[in-house]
Structure formats: structure tokens, C-alpha cells
Amino acid sequence: MSDETNKGLLSPLRRKLLMGMAAIPAVTMLPRASFAQAPATSAVNTTGLAVTDTEVTVGILHSATGTMAISETGSIEAEKLAIEQINAAGGVLGRKIKFIQEDGASDWPTFAEKAKKLLVNDKVAAIMGCWTSASRKAVLPVVEQYNGMLYYPTFYEGLEQSKNVIYTGQEATQQILAGLNWIAKEKGAKSFFFIGSDYIWPRTSNKIARKHVENVLKGKVVGEEYYPLGNTQFNSVINKIKLTKPDVIFTDVVGGSNVAFYKQLKAAGIDLSKQALLTISVTEDEIDGIGGENIAGAYACMKYFQSLDNANNKAFVPAFKKMWGEKTVIGDVTQAAYLGPWLWKLTVEKAGSFDVDKIAAASPGVEFKGAPEGYVRIHENHHLWSKTRVGRAKLDGQFELIYETADLVEPDPFPKGYQ
């Protein structure tokens, strides 16, 4: 939109410049100067994307409004930070990244509509976006049809792989198996109770966890319960937990339900310093709402915690807080969202082109050494090789790192023996 108004202002301006003799050298020199640094647009953009000699446009597509805004705001902030840092470091192939932000409004069809708008109208070179599986499922046919590139940050259920998507979060086996192995070994856990929100991600994750518990760990699942999204009554399941006395409560309850769940757990006298609880859905963002005192002692299994002690993270956390305020917290998905623009930049530079086909082909093997979680690499299946970590929630809402895998865990979106 602002582009059109700019053009309207520029053309009379340009005419005036051309009329003045003094301006001629300046007009001819300017483009040459920028050409000297960056490869010609015609060479790096053969499919009509929004790439000029000085700028390249990408889309940011998350929910800034609606129920998911509380989770997705962190992703928006991380992506904007990454774009700002990349621009400060010289941009991509000599071009500054400009972003167009669209609001998915926590509504899956809106996500599809906006994705289409970004690809068809704005011709963005890549989209950083989506959060819930439902929004990704809605956007997927659009990016495949119009041959776009989506960088998707959330840990998710797997069973998906697309030329047009890079999954910067963990798929289910990557996230879950190492955590279960750890808790079985460390706590001698044999019996598990599963509690989840009722949609595809918890159901698939629990299916994988159940197969692993029963077939690999030779343990037992003593209960498996699902509650609708937004549910706030967990008393009946808490009674069942008290009756079955599982070694581990394994939860993938999402969103606002977590607040009720942990408060009721505490009120029912279940002490998380004695009763092991492993969650794969609570990050620092959720603890903000739950309250550290209600969840302290619980274990979380994912790939990033704000408290990670490495050089990249020590630079990332202050930069994030400087841009978005001292009080912000950084969860697993926020960090994964931060990877999106960086991985795209690295891939574009490897491919030497903004063309989506070339980026899709060049993605496998791209390494990002500056990731706050530590070194990551893109697998042939467009997911990331990354470490899995277990953290323990503290009173101040941060996690204390308890365990991390020695090596990067291979992403396996179609796990054999777990389906």
C-alpha cells in the first residue's frame, strides 16, 4: 500500500531530477553503487518475487489478536528482532529485509486468506508464520499451490513434510522420546498418566509416547484423558491421578487451561517436588500466566529454555529484552521463531537466489551456528537437527536445565513403529 503512494511521489521527483543537469551524475551513480555490492536483481529473482535492488519483502503471519495472541506475540517479536539484526548486519544478498505483517486473528481461514494475500498480492519471498497446527494445515495448501516458503516455529505432531515449509520447531518424536528416556532412567518411572487438550497435537504426541512407554520402556500407561481447549475443570482427572498413583504425569494441555490445571493440582495437595510431572506444552510464556509457585518442580521437555548458558543465548536474551522490554520472557517457540529469518537468510545466500525452488533445494544442510539453542542444521526432510533438553520449573518462572542430549536428535516426522 505504501509502495503505491511512494511511486506517486517519486515519479515527478525523478522527472525534476532528470531535468536538472547537476542531477544527472547522481542519478546514474546511485544504482551503480548498489549494484557493485549486490548481485543484479534479475539474476537472484527469476520468479517475480518482491525483490528490488535494495529491498526484499517477507511476510509475518501470526495472530496479533484473539485467543492465540498471547502465545504468538512472542514469535512476532522474535521474528522482528531477527530481521532487524540481519538488516543491521547488511541484509540478505545486499538487500534490506522489509516485512509486511498480517494478522491471522486466531482464526484458521483468516490465516489461509492472509497467506494467499502475502503470496499473490505482495509476492513475498518467504513467510514467517503460523503457530497452531490448525493454522498450518490451513496455510499449507496455499503455500504449496502458490509455491511460497513458510518458516513454521512451533513444536508439532509431525506426520507432515513439504517442499514449501521449513519446520524450525521440534516434531513429536524429537521432543518426546529423549524426555521419556530420561525420566524412566532417572526416576525409575514405570507407570504414566497422560492428560492432554483434545486436538491433533496432544493426541498424536500421546500416541507416540504410549508406544514408546509400552514397547521400548516396558512401562504402563495407567490413564489417558483429553479435555476440550479452554477447559478449566480438572478435578475429576486429579482424583483419578490420586487413585492410580502414576510415577509420572505426562501432560500436553495447552493455552489457558494450564492455569486452571496447575492451580487445581496444587489445591488437591499434589506436590510437584514429590510427584514427577513431565510437560511438553509449558514454556516460560505459559508460566507467566500459571505463576511460578504453582508449577515449581515440574519438568518440561523441549529444546530451548531462556536460562540456557551459552554465548549465543547470552547475546540473544538481552537483545530481545532491549527491544521488547525487561519483563518479556522467551519460550521455546519464540526462540524457534527467531531461527526462521536467519535460516532463510543463510539459505538464500547458499542458493545465491531468492527463488523458492532453489531455496527449497538448498535448505538441507544449512547450518546456523548463532542459534540461541546452540548449533542447528536443516535435515533433508526440512526439519531441524536439534538437541532435546529437560528443564525443571523454578519459583521465578524460569527453568533450570537438568539434562540435555549429547548429540543433535534427528527429526523423524514419519516415525516407524510409532504410528
Partner 1 sequence: MTDNRFVNRSELIGILVLAVFLVVVLPLTLDVFRLNLVAKYLTYAFVALGLVICWGYGGILSLGQGVFFGLGGYCMAMFLKLEASSVENTKIQSTPGIPDFMDWNQITALPLFWKPFNSLTFTIAAIILVPGIFALIIGTAMFKRRVGGTYFAIITQAVAAILTILIVGQQGYTGGINGMTDLRTLKGWDIRPDHAKVVLYFFEVGCLFVCIMIAQFVRHSKLGRILVAMREKEDRVRFSGYSVANFKIFAFCIAAVFAAIGGAMFALNVGFMSPSFVGIVPSIEMVIYTAVGGRLSILGAIYGTLLVNFAKTSLSETFPELWLFGLGGLFIAVVLAFPNGLAGIWGDYVQPRIDRLISSRKPKPEGWTDGSVADGAPAE
Closest CA to 178 of 360, 388, 29, 335: 388
Q: φ, ψ for residue 152 (rounded to 5)?
A: -105, 120
Q: Give the range of 31-39, 101-109, 365-373, 386-394 binding partner 1 by CB under 8 A.
A: 101-109
Are the C-beta atoms of residues 270 and 297 closer than 8 Å to each other?
A: no
Nearer to partner 1, 372 or 413 (CB): 413
Among 105, 177, 237, 409, binds partner 1 (CB under 8 A): 105
Among 96, 123, 163, 207, binds partner 1 (CB under 8 A): 207
Are the C-beta atoms of residues 341 and 97 closer than 8 Å to each other?
A: yes
Under the binding rule (CB under 8 A), the answer on residue 107 touching partner 1 is yes
Among 34, 145, 233, 236, binds partner 1 (CB under 8 A): 145
Under the binding rule (CB under 8 A), the answer on residue 6 touching partner 1 is no
Q: Taking the complex as a whole, how short is the minimal distance between the CB of residue 419 and partner 1, in angstroms?
A: 6
Q: Taking the complex as a whole, how short is the minimal distance between the CB of residue 50 and partner 1, in angstroms?
A: 15
Place of cell 535460516: 343
Return the amino acid letter for 145.
Q
Under the binding rule (CB under 8 A), the answer on residue 121 touching partner 1 is yes
For 88, counting Cβ atoms within 10 Å of its Cβ (0-12 exposed, 13-18 middle, 19+ buried), the class is exposed
Q: Taking the complex as a whole, how short is the minimal distance between the CB of residue 399 and partner 1, in angstroms?
A: 28
Closest CA to 166 of 342, 373, 415: 342
Q: Taking the complex as a whole, how short is the minimal distance between the CB of residue 94 and partner 1, in angstroms?
A: 28
Q: Give the range of 28-36, 136-144, 329-337, 346-354 binding partner 1 by CB under 8 A.
A: 136-144
Instruction: Tell me the C-alpha distance between 286 and 407, whole Å.
Output: 28
Under the binding rule (CB under 8 A), the answer on residue 36 touching partner 1 is no
Under the binding rule (CB under 8 A), the answer on residue 350 touching partner 1 is no
Q: What is the sign of the dihedral through the CA atoms of 368, 82, 155 and 361? A: negative
Instruction: Tell me the C-alpha distance between 366 and 377, whole Å.
Output: 6
Angle at 193 between CA 192 and CA 198, to 5 degrees: 135
Under the binding rule (CB under 8 A), the answer on residue 38 touching partner 1 is no
Return the amino acid letter for 268.
A
Applying the rule CB under 8 A, the residues between 224 and 243 that interact with partner 1 are: 228-229
Instruction: Tell me the C-alpha distance between 334 and 417, whole Å.
Output: 31
The 10 Å Cβ neighbour count of residue 20 is 10
Q: Give the range of 105-113, 163-171, 341-349, 360-368 binding partner 1 by CB under 8 A.
A: 105-113
Which run of H or of E encompasses 393? strand 389-393
Tell me the site size for partner 1, rule CB under 8 A: 37
Are the C-beta atoms of residues 346 and 375 closer than 8 Å to each other?
A: no
Q: Taking the complex as a whole, how short is the minimal distance between the CB of residue 153 and partner 1, in angstroms?
A: 18
Under the binding rule (CB under 8 A), the answer on residue 159 touching partner 1 is yes
Place of cell 488437591: 268
Strand partners, 220: 191
Under the binding rule (CB under 8 A), the answer on residue 373 touching partner 1 is no
Nearer to partner 1, 216 or 229 (CB): 229
Under the binding rule (CB under 8 A), the answer on residue 310 touching partner 1 is no
Nearer to partner 1, 11 or 419 (CB): 419
Q: Taking the complex as a whole, how short is the minimal distance between the CB of residue 107 and partner 1, in angstroms?
A: 6
Crossing angle between the packed helical segments 332-351 and 69-88, to the nearest 10 degrees = 40
Residues in contact with partner 1, shown as a per-residue x/- string from 56 to 95 under the rule CB under 8 A:
--------xx------------------------------
Under the binding rule (CB under 8 A), the answer on residue 163 touching partner 1 is no
Nearer to partner 1, 179 or 202 (CB): 202
Q: In sequence order, which ranges of 192-331 are alpha helices (DSSP H)?
A: 200-211, 235-244, 257-267, 284-290, 292-295, 311-324
User: Which positions lie near partner 1, rule CB under 8 A?
Assistant: 1, 64-65, 101-103, 105, 107-110, 112-114, 116-117, 120-121, 133-134, 137-138, 140-141, 145, 157, 159, 198-200, 203-204, 207, 228-229, 414, 419
